[in-house]
Amino acid sequence: MSNVAVIGSQWGDEGKGKIVDWLSSRADVVVRFQGGHNAGHTLVIDGNEYKLNLLPSGVVRQGKISMIGNGVVISPWALLKEIATIKEKGVKITPENFVIAENANLILPVHQALDAALEMTRGEGKLGTTKRGIGPAYEDKVARRGIRVCDLRHPEILKEKISKMMFHHNILLAGMGADTMDANETYDKLMEIAGDILHYAGVVWRDLDRARTEGKKILFEGAQGTMLDVDHGTYPYVTSSNTVAAQAAIGSGMGVDAVKYVLGITKAYTTRVGTGPFPTEQDNEIGQFLGEKGKEFGTVTGRKRRCGWFDAVMVRQAVRVNGIHGISLTKLDVLDGLEEIKICVGYRLNGEEIDYYPASQVDQAAVEPIYETMDGWSESTYGARSWAELPAAAVKYVRHIEELIGAPVSMLSTSPERDDTILMRDPFVD
C-alpha cells in the first residue's frame, strides 16, 4: 500500500475536501502539512455539510487519526472554535484521534492586525489576502521570532518571546497608522486557552514514523493550489507557504520517500479567488454560467470566484512540478449544457508561442491563451458513477485533458456527494 498526497493543481478550490474525505475511508491517518485557516474544505456526508478550515478532513470519519503538521500555522482561537462547531454535529475529537504538532507556529492577533494594515497600504496592488494573519505568521516563523505550540508549556519564556515580538511589530503598526498591540494582553489571552491547545499537542513526526513502520496508510492533505505556491505560483499573488507535493514531507516531518502517490485535484474548468493573473478568465456570460452552476463562492471568505476555461498549460506544469501520478477531475457536471467548450493548449507572449506559465508577473499578465474548441453535451453527467453513464462528448473531453496534461484521470467526480465518483485507480494501491 502507498501513502498518498492530495495536491491542488490550479488556484485552489478544486474540490479537495470531497476527495480527501473519499480517500480517508481508505486511510488510517490524515495529516495537514501547510497553510492555515485561510484554506477551506466543504464535505457533504449523508446529507450533512461540514466546513473545515484547519481540521484535517479525516476528523469526520470514525477510527481515523487526524494530525496538524509543523508546516501549518495555527490560530488557536479559530481551531478551538472549529473543534467546538464540529463536536456540536456529533463528531468526537479527542487526543486519541487528533494531534497538533508541538513545533507548529501560532497565529496571534498581532498577525491579523498586520495582515489587514499591510493590505490596506497596497492600494490598487492588493494581493487579495484573507487578512487572517497567515503571511505575517509565516514571516515570524522564518525570522525566528514566532510562537510555537510547545512554548505554551513555558509561561516565562512565552511572555519574553511575546514581548520581543510586539516590540518589533508595534513599530511597523505605528508607522502605518494602525493601533498597536499590548504584549501583556496577548500573553493573558494565550494563557487562557493554553491548556486547551496543549491537550491535543504531540510529536507528530514521531507518530507518523510509527504509523509508517506499522504499515498504516497515511493521507497528506494539501490546502490551496499549486499556482498559489510561494515559489512556483503566480508570485506575488500567492499564499505564504509551499503548496506543492514536496512540502508534504517537510510540513509533517517525514522523509522525502514517504509519499508514494501524488494525486492532483483538478477542476474541469478554472477558477480563482481574488486578484492576480488569470489567462483563461471569462468575464462574460460563460464565466457567469460556470460561477452560478458551480456555486463558486469561497468556503472561507464567501468571495465570488472568477471563472474561466480549463488551462491545460497550467495543469501540465503542475503535473511536472508536483510529480503528479494521476488527477482527480472534479465538477465535470458543471459543463453540462454548453454547446461548445474551450481548452487552453498554449500561450502567446509578445507574438511568440510558449508552452509554460512564465515566472515574471509582467509576462503572466501579458500571456494570451491559445484555445482548442470541442463539442459540448446536453445530457446530464451529474451523479454518474461509471463511464457508461457519461455522454460520448464528455468522455472525449476527459480523454483529451489526459493527453494535454500528460497524466491519467485516476478519479472522476460528478457531484459533491462522496459516492458520486468514478474510480479508475485507487491511489492507495501501488
What pairs with residue 73 in β-bridges? 105
Q: Give how many domains the chain has, as a whole number.
A: 3
429 falls within a domain: no
Asked whether residue 279 falls in the same domain as residue 399, the answer is yes
d(CA 414, CA 385): 8
282 falls within a domain: yes
Asked whether residue 370 falls in the same domain as residue 293, the answer is yes
DSSP single-letter state for residue 180: P
The stretches of 13-97 forming alpha helices (DSSP H) are: 16-24, 76-88
Res. 1: pLDDT tops 60: no
Assign residue 208 the CATH number of its domain.
3.40.440.10
**pLDDT, tens digit, 9 for 90 and up, residues 132-144:** 899 999 999 999 9
Res. 18: pLDDT tops 70: yes
pLDDT at 189: 97
| Residue 144 grid cell | 525566528
Residue 159 phi/psi, 5-degree rounding, is -65, -40
Q: How many CB atoms lie within 10 A of CB 317?
A: 19
pLDDT at 127: 62
Residue 68 phi/psi, 5-degree rounding, is -110, 115
Q: Which of 219, 310, 421 is nearest to 11 (CA)?
A: 310
Please report which confidence band the pLDDT of residue 130 belongs to, taking 50, 70 and 90 as the band edges: confident
**Boundary-marking domain end, from 237, 261, 285:** 261
Q: Please give the radius of gyration of the chain, using alpha carbons only, rounded to the nearest integer.
A: 22
**pLDDT, tens digit, 9 for 90 and up, residues 44-81:** 777 778 888 899 988 888 889 999 999 999 999 999 99
Instruction: Provide the mean pLDDT of the chain.
Output: 92
d(CA 162, CA 187): 7
* Cα 136–chain centre separation: 18
Residue type, 339: E
Residue 284 phi/psi, 5-degree rounding, is -155, -160
Most confident option among 170-174, 220-224, 338-342: 338-342
Residues 6+ apart with CB under 8 A from 38: 53, 129, 130, 132, 134, 223, 224, 239, 300
121 falls within a domain: yes
**pLDDT, tens digit, 9 for 90 and up, residues 202-220:** 999 999 999 999 999 999 9
| Residue 192 grid cell | 487562557
Question: What mean pLDDT comes out for the span 313-325?
Answer: 98
Of 52-56, 229-233, 399-403, least confident by mean pLDDT is 52-56
Pairing of strands 352-354, 340-349: antiparallel
pLDDT at 429: 81
52 falls within a domain: yes
**Boundary-marking domain end, from 159, 175, 197:** 197
**pLDDT, tens digit, 9 for 90 and up, residues 253-292:** 999 999 999 999 999 999 999 889 999 999 999 999 999 9
pLDDT at 14: 93
430 falls within a domain: no
Q: Please, are residues 369 and 270 in contact by the beta-carbon 8 Å criterion?
A: no
- Beta strand spans in 191-260 (E): 201-202, 218-221
- % residues pLDDT > 90 (the chain): 78
Asked whether residue 272 falls in the same domain as residue 410, the answer is yes
Asked whether residue 91 falls in the same domain as residue 240, the answer is yes
Asked whether residue 124 falls in the same domain as residue 206, the answer is no
Q: Is 352 exposed, middle or buried (0-12, 13-18, 19+ CB in 10 A)?
A: exposed
d(CA 129, CA 238): 9
Residue 32 phi/psi, 5-degree rounding, is -85, 140
**Boundary-marking domain end, from 261, 289, 313:** 261
Please report which confidence band the pLDDT of residue 125 belongs to, taking 50, 70 and 90 as the band edges: low
Asked whether residue 241 falls in the same domain as residue 293, the answer is no
Asked whether residue 293 falls in the same domain as residue 410, the answer is yes
Assign residue 379 the CATH number of its domain.
3.90.170.10
Q: Which of 340, 332, 342 is nearest to 376 (CA)?
A: 340
Res. 126: pLDDT tops 90: no
**pLDDT, tens digit, 9 for 90 and up, residues 70-119:** 999 999 999 999 999 999 988 999 999 999 999 999 999 999 999 888 88
**pLDDT, tens digit, 9 for 90 and up, residues 175-184:** 998 999 999 9
pLDDT at 42: 74
**pLDDT, tens digit, 9 for 90 and up, residues 413-429:** 998 877 889 999 889 88
Asked whether residue 288 falls in the same domain as residue 404, the answer is yes
Q: Which of 364, 217, 353, 379 is nearest to 279 (CA)?
A: 364
Which residue out of 13, 140, 311, 420 is catalytically annotated?
Answer: 13
Give the CA diameter of the chain: 67
Which uninterrupted H or E stretch holds 363?
helix 361-366
The reply to whether 168 belongs to the active site is: no
Q: How many CB atoms lie within 10 A of CB 20?
A: 27
Q: Which of 30, 75, 25, 65 is nearest to 46 (CA)?
A: 25
Q: Note down the domain range covering 61.
A: 4-104+199-261
Question: What mean pLDDT comes out for the span 304-325?
Answer: 97
358 falls within a domain: yes
Residues 6+ apart with CB under 8 A from 154: none
Asked whether residue 371 falls in the same domain as residue 345, the answer is yes
**pLDDT, tens digit, 9 for 90 and up, residues 19-31:** 888 888 889 999 9
* Span between the terminal Cα atoms of the chain, in Å: 6
pLDDT at 120: 75
d(CA 355, CA 257): 30
Assign residue 165 the CATH number of its domain.
1.10.300.10
Asked whether residue 253 falls in the same domain as residue 359, the answer is no
Which uninterrupted H or E stretch holds 308?
strand 306-308
Asked whether residue 58 falls in the same domain as residue 207, the answer is yes
The reply to whether 188 belongs to the active site is: no
pLDDT at 215: 94
Asked whether residue 204 falls in the same domain as residue 185, the answer is no
404 falls within a domain: yes
pLDDT at 303: 73
Which uninterrupted H or E stretch holds 81?
helix 76-88
Which residue out of 37, 41, 111, 169 is catalytically annotated?
Answer: 41
428 falls within a domain: no
